[in-house]
Amino acid sequence: MKNIITIFIAVTALFSFSPHVQAQMPVNNIVCNNLQVTKGNNGTIPATVEFSAEVEDPLSQAAEYLFYFGDGNSAISQTPNISHTYQTSGTFTVRTEVKDTTGYWKTSRDCQTTAIVEKSTVEDHKSGCSNIFVEIDNNGETPTNATFQVTGWDNTGILQGYSIDFGDGMGGEYTQPYFSHIYDKPGTYVVQAKVQDSQGNWIGATDGCSINLPIKSAAITNLQTQPSTGSPTIFAVASVIGVLFAIFTLRSTRHTT
Protein backbone atom coordinates (compact mmCIF):
# COMPACT_ATOMS: atom_id res chain seq x y z
CA MET A 1 0.00 0.00 0.00
CA LYS A 2 2.87 2.33 0.83
CA ASN A 3 4.42 1.65 -2.57
CA ILE A 4 1.17 2.53 -4.36
CA ILE A 5 0.85 5.82 -2.46
CA THR A 6 4.48 6.63 -3.14
CA ILE A 7 4.19 5.94 -6.87
CA PHE A 8 1.03 8.09 -7.03
CA ILE A 9 2.87 11.00 -5.40
CA ALA A 10 5.79 10.64 -7.80
CA VAL A 11 3.61 10.48 -10.92
CA THR A 12 1.53 13.46 -9.79
CA ALA A 13 4.64 15.51 -9.09
CA LEU A 14 6.25 14.67 -12.42
CA PHE A 15 3.05 15.50 -14.30
CA SER A 16 2.74 18.91 -12.67
CA PHE A 17 6.41 19.58 -13.40
CA SER A 18 6.16 18.67 -17.08
CA PRO A 19 6.15 21.80 -19.25
CA HIS A 20 2.99 22.59 -21.14
CA VAL A 21 1.92 25.45 -23.34
CA GLN A 22 -0.50 27.84 -21.67
CA ALA A 23 -3.33 29.17 -23.78
CA GLN A 24 -2.66 32.83 -24.48
CA MET A 25 -4.47 35.45 -26.48
CA PRO A 26 -2.22 36.54 -29.35
CA VAL A 27 -0.97 40.09 -29.04
CA ASN A 28 -2.07 42.24 -31.94
CA ASN A 29 0.90 44.41 -32.92
CA ILE A 30 -1.39 47.06 -34.32
CA VAL A 31 0.17 50.30 -35.52
CA CYS A 32 -1.33 53.52 -36.87
CA ASN A 33 0.89 54.51 -39.79
CA ASN A 34 -0.77 57.64 -41.11
CA LEU A 35 -3.51 60.20 -40.49
CA GLN A 36 -4.85 62.43 -43.25
CA VAL A 37 -7.31 65.26 -43.66
CA THR A 38 -9.67 64.07 -46.38
CA LYS A 39 -12.04 67.03 -46.53
CA GLY A 40 -12.69 70.46 -45.07
CA ASN A 41 -9.19 71.83 -44.45
CA ASN A 42 -8.73 75.63 -44.66
CA GLY A 43 -12.43 76.27 -44.06
CA THR A 44 -13.92 79.02 -41.90
CA ILE A 45 -15.78 78.53 -38.63
CA PRO A 46 -17.82 76.57 -38.02
CA ALA A 47 -15.58 74.25 -40.06
CA THR A 48 -16.28 70.52 -40.37
CA VAL A 49 -13.08 68.61 -41.14
CA GLU A 50 -12.92 64.92 -42.05
CA PHE A 51 -10.04 62.61 -41.10
CA SER A 52 -8.94 59.11 -42.07
CA ALA A 53 -6.40 56.94 -40.20
CA GLU A 54 -4.35 54.22 -41.87
CA VAL A 55 -3.74 51.25 -39.58
CA GLU A 56 -1.55 48.16 -39.87
CA ASP A 57 -3.71 45.52 -38.17
CA PRO A 58 -2.24 41.97 -38.54
CA LEU A 59 -5.11 40.24 -36.73
CA SER A 60 -7.89 42.49 -38.05
CA GLN A 61 -9.04 43.15 -34.50
CA ALA A 62 -8.93 46.93 -34.27
CA ALA A 63 -12.19 47.92 -32.65
CA GLU A 64 -11.59 51.42 -31.36
CA TYR A 65 -9.83 54.55 -32.52
CA LEU A 66 -9.28 57.55 -30.25
CA PHE A 67 -9.06 60.85 -32.12
CA TYR A 68 -7.62 64.00 -30.52
CA PHE A 69 -8.73 67.00 -32.58
CA GLY A 70 -6.22 69.50 -31.18
CA ASP A 71 -8.78 71.97 -29.82
CA GLY A 72 -9.23 70.18 -26.50
CA ASN A 73 -11.88 67.79 -27.82
CA SER A 74 -11.57 64.07 -28.52
CA ALA A 75 -13.79 61.19 -29.62
CA ILE A 76 -13.72 57.38 -29.83
CA SER A 77 -14.73 55.81 -33.13
CA GLN A 78 -15.32 52.23 -34.24
CA THR A 79 -13.97 53.08 -37.70
CA PRO A 80 -10.78 54.84 -38.85
CA ASN A 81 -12.83 57.66 -40.40
CA ILE A 82 -14.31 60.55 -38.46
CA SER A 83 -15.34 64.20 -38.77
CA HIS A 84 -15.12 67.09 -36.32
CA THR A 85 -16.54 70.61 -36.32
CA TYR A 86 -14.21 73.37 -35.13
CA GLN A 87 -15.80 76.38 -33.45
CA THR A 88 -12.64 78.49 -33.45
CA SER A 89 -9.92 79.14 -35.99
CA GLY A 90 -6.30 78.12 -35.69
CA THR A 91 -3.79 75.42 -36.58
CA PHE A 92 -4.57 72.21 -34.70
CA THR A 93 -2.42 69.13 -34.09
CA VAL A 94 -4.66 66.10 -34.67
CA ARG A 95 -3.61 62.65 -33.50
CA THR A 96 -5.07 59.14 -33.42
CA GLU A 97 -4.52 56.26 -31.02
CA VAL A 98 -5.58 52.63 -31.57
CA LYS A 99 -6.32 50.01 -28.92
CA ASP A 100 -4.48 46.66 -29.05
CA THR A 101 -5.73 43.29 -27.76
CA THR A 102 -4.24 43.92 -24.31
CA GLY A 103 -6.38 47.04 -23.87
CA TYR A 104 -3.58 49.58 -24.26
CA TRP A 105 -3.95 52.64 -26.45
CA LYS A 106 -1.03 52.93 -28.89
CA THR A 107 0.11 56.23 -30.32
CA SER A 108 2.68 57.28 -32.87
CA ARG A 109 3.91 60.56 -34.29
CA ASP A 110 3.32 59.01 -37.72
CA CYS A 111 -0.40 59.03 -36.94
CA GLN A 112 -0.56 62.80 -36.64
CA THR A 113 -1.65 65.59 -38.96
CA THR A 114 -2.57 69.27 -38.97
CA ALA A 115 -6.03 70.78 -39.38
CA ILE A 116 -6.20 74.43 -40.43
CA VAL A 117 -9.25 76.61 -39.85
CA GLU A 118 -9.14 80.14 -41.27
CA LYS A 119 -9.78 83.12 -39.02
CA SER A 120 -13.15 84.83 -39.01
CA THR A 121 -13.28 88.63 -39.09
CA VAL A 122 -15.55 88.74 -36.03
CA GLU A 123 -13.53 86.32 -33.92
CA ASP A 124 -11.84 87.43 -30.68
CA HIS A 125 -8.41 86.14 -29.65
CA LYS A 126 -8.51 82.59 -28.31
CA SER A 127 -5.84 80.05 -27.41
CA GLY A 128 -5.42 76.85 -25.45
CA CYS A 129 -3.28 73.93 -24.38
CA SER A 130 -4.68 70.81 -26.03
CA ASN A 131 -2.87 67.62 -24.99
CA ILE A 132 0.20 65.90 -23.58
CA PHE A 133 1.16 62.80 -25.54
CA VAL A 134 3.50 60.24 -23.98
CA GLU A 135 5.52 59.02 -26.94
CA ILE A 136 7.96 56.88 -24.89
CA ASP A 137 7.60 55.24 -22.29
CA ASN A 138 4.06 55.18 -20.92
CA ASN A 139 3.69 52.63 -18.10
CA GLY A 140 7.44 51.92 -18.32
CA GLU A 141 9.78 50.46 -15.71
CA THR A 142 12.45 52.26 -13.70
CA PRO A 143 14.72 53.70 -14.81
CA THR A 144 12.85 54.97 -17.83
CA ASN A 145 13.35 57.90 -20.18
CA ALA A 146 9.87 59.25 -20.92
CA THR A 147 9.34 61.44 -23.98
CA PHE A 148 6.44 63.89 -24.23
CA GLN A 149 4.83 66.07 -26.88
CA VAL A 150 2.77 69.10 -25.83
CA THR A 151 0.20 70.52 -28.24
CA GLY A 152 -1.81 73.73 -28.26
CA TRP A 153 -3.37 76.34 -30.55
CA ASP A 154 -3.77 80.09 -31.09
CA ASN A 155 -6.25 81.69 -33.48
CA THR A 156 -4.29 84.89 -34.12
CA GLY A 157 -0.66 83.83 -34.19
CA ILE A 158 1.99 81.27 -33.31
CA LEU A 159 2.62 79.71 -29.91
CA GLN A 160 5.75 81.21 -28.36
CA GLY A 161 6.72 78.52 -25.88
CA TYR A 162 5.95 75.34 -23.96
CA SER A 163 6.45 74.39 -20.32
CA ILE A 164 6.14 71.09 -18.48
CA ASP A 165 6.08 69.86 -14.88
CA PHE A 166 7.21 66.22 -14.77
CA GLY A 167 5.49 65.58 -11.43
CA ASP A 168 8.66 64.80 -9.47
CA GLY A 169 9.77 68.34 -8.71
CA MET A 170 11.47 68.78 -12.08
CA GLY A 171 10.31 70.70 -15.14
CA GLY A 172 11.32 73.18 -17.79
CA GLU A 173 10.43 75.59 -20.59
CA TYR A 174 11.31 75.28 -24.25
CA THR A 175 10.45 76.84 -27.60
CA GLN A 176 9.71 73.38 -29.05
CA PRO A 177 6.89 71.03 -27.92
CA TYR A 178 9.09 67.98 -27.19
CA PHE A 179 10.46 67.04 -23.76
CA SER A 180 12.21 64.02 -22.26
CA HIS A 181 12.80 63.11 -18.63
CA ILE A 182 14.31 60.17 -16.73
CA TYR A 183 12.22 58.64 -13.92
CA ASP A 184 14.29 56.49 -11.55
CA LYS A 185 11.62 55.80 -8.92
CA PRO A 186 8.29 53.96 -9.31
CA GLY A 187 5.02 55.74 -8.76
CA THR A 188 2.24 57.64 -10.51
CA TYR A 189 3.34 61.10 -11.55
CA VAL A 190 1.00 63.97 -12.39
CA VAL A 191 2.52 65.55 -15.50
CA GLN A 192 1.21 69.00 -16.42
CA ALA A 193 1.97 71.27 -19.37
CA LYS A 194 1.28 74.83 -20.48
CA VAL A 195 1.63 76.74 -23.74
CA GLN A 196 2.49 80.40 -24.18
CA ASP A 197 0.19 82.03 -26.72
CA SER A 198 0.93 84.82 -29.20
CA GLN A 199 0.14 87.46 -26.56
CA GLY A 200 2.50 85.99 -23.95
CA ASN A 201 -0.12 84.29 -21.78
CA TRP A 202 0.64 80.87 -20.25
CA ILE A 203 -2.36 78.54 -20.52
CA GLY A 204 -2.87 74.90 -19.53
CA ALA A 205 -2.16 72.43 -16.70
CA THR A 206 -5.79 71.24 -16.90
CA ASP A 207 -7.90 68.76 -18.87
CA GLY A 208 -5.82 67.20 -21.68
CA CYS A 209 -2.68 69.02 -20.52
CA SER A 210 -2.65 67.18 -17.19
CA ILE A 211 -2.10 63.41 -17.17
CA ASN A 212 -1.20 60.62 -14.77
CA LEU A 213 2.00 58.79 -15.76
CA PRO A 214 2.46 55.34 -14.10
CA ILE A 215 6.06 54.15 -13.69
CA LYS A 216 6.56 50.58 -12.45
CA SER A 217 9.39 49.13 -10.42
CA ALA A 218 11.54 46.80 -12.52
CA ALA A 219 12.44 44.68 -9.48
CA ILE A 220 8.81 44.08 -8.49
CA THR A 221 7.81 43.37 -12.06
CA ASN A 222 10.54 40.75 -12.47
CA LEU A 223 9.57 38.97 -9.26
CA GLN A 224 5.95 38.74 -10.35
CA THR A 225 6.67 37.60 -13.89
CA GLN A 226 5.95 33.92 -14.64
CA PRO A 227 7.14 31.93 -17.66
CA SER A 228 4.91 32.21 -20.71
CA THR A 229 5.10 28.42 -21.19
CA GLY A 230 5.30 25.61 -18.65
CA SER A 231 4.10 25.50 -15.07
CA PRO A 232 4.34 28.60 -12.90
CA THR A 233 7.49 28.81 -10.80
CA ILE A 234 5.81 27.99 -7.50
CA PHE A 235 4.40 24.74 -8.89
CA ALA A 236 7.76 23.82 -10.38
CA VAL A 237 9.44 24.15 -6.98
CA ALA A 238 6.68 22.13 -5.32
CA SER A 239 7.06 19.45 -7.99
CA VAL A 240 10.79 19.07 -7.37
CA ILE A 241 10.15 18.69 -3.65
CA GLY A 242 7.48 16.07 -4.41
CA VAL A 243 9.86 14.03 -6.59
CA LEU A 244 12.60 14.11 -3.96
CA PHE A 245 10.13 13.05 -1.29
CA ALA A 246 8.90 10.15 -3.44
CA ILE A 247 12.44 8.89 -4.10
CA PHE A 248 13.31 9.11 -0.43
CA THR A 249 10.14 7.20 0.51
CA LEU A 250 10.87 4.44 -2.03
CA ARG A 251 14.35 3.95 -0.66
CA SER A 252 13.08 3.86 2.91
CA THR A 253 10.46 1.26 1.96
CA ARG A 254 13.06 -1.00 0.34
CA HIS A 255 15.27 -0.89 3.41
CA THR A 256 12.42 -1.79 5.76
CA THR A 257 11.12 -4.75 3.69
pLDDT at 146: 93
Can you give the pLDDT at residue 21? 42
pLDDT at 126: 95
Q: How many angstroms separate the CA atoms of 154 and 210, rounded?
A: 19
Nearest-5° Cα angle at 239, 234 to 245:
130
Q: Residue 204 and residue 173: Cα distance in Å, rounded?
A: 13
Q: How far apart are the first and last CA of the chain?
A: 13
234 CB-near residues (< 8 Å, 6+ apart) = none
CA distances from 68 to 77, 119, 121, 135, 195 (A): 11, 21, 27, 15, 17
Q: What is the mean pLDDT of the chain?
A: 80
Residue type, position 224, single letter: Q
pLDDT of residue 16: 47
For 52-79, the pLDDT digits (tens) are 999 887 666 666 899 999 999 999 999 9
pLDDT at 101: 73
Tell me what percent of the residues of the chain surpass a pLDDT of 70.
70
Looking at residue 119, its pLDDT comes to 87
3-state secondary structure of 153: strand
When mean pLDDT is compared over 1-5, 9-13, 118-122, 182-186, the highest value belongs to 182-186
Phi, psi of 149 (to 5 degrees): -125, 130
d(Cα 239, Cα 102) in Å, to the nearest integer?
A: 32
Q: What confidence tens digit (pLDDT) does each residue in 17-49 have?
A: 444 444 455 555 778 889 999 999 999 999 999
Residue 231 has a pLDDT of 46
pLDDT of 250 reads 47
Of 201 and 225, the structure prediction assigns the larger pLDDT to 201
pLDDT of 221: 42
Whether the pLDDT of residue 162 is over 60: the answer is yes
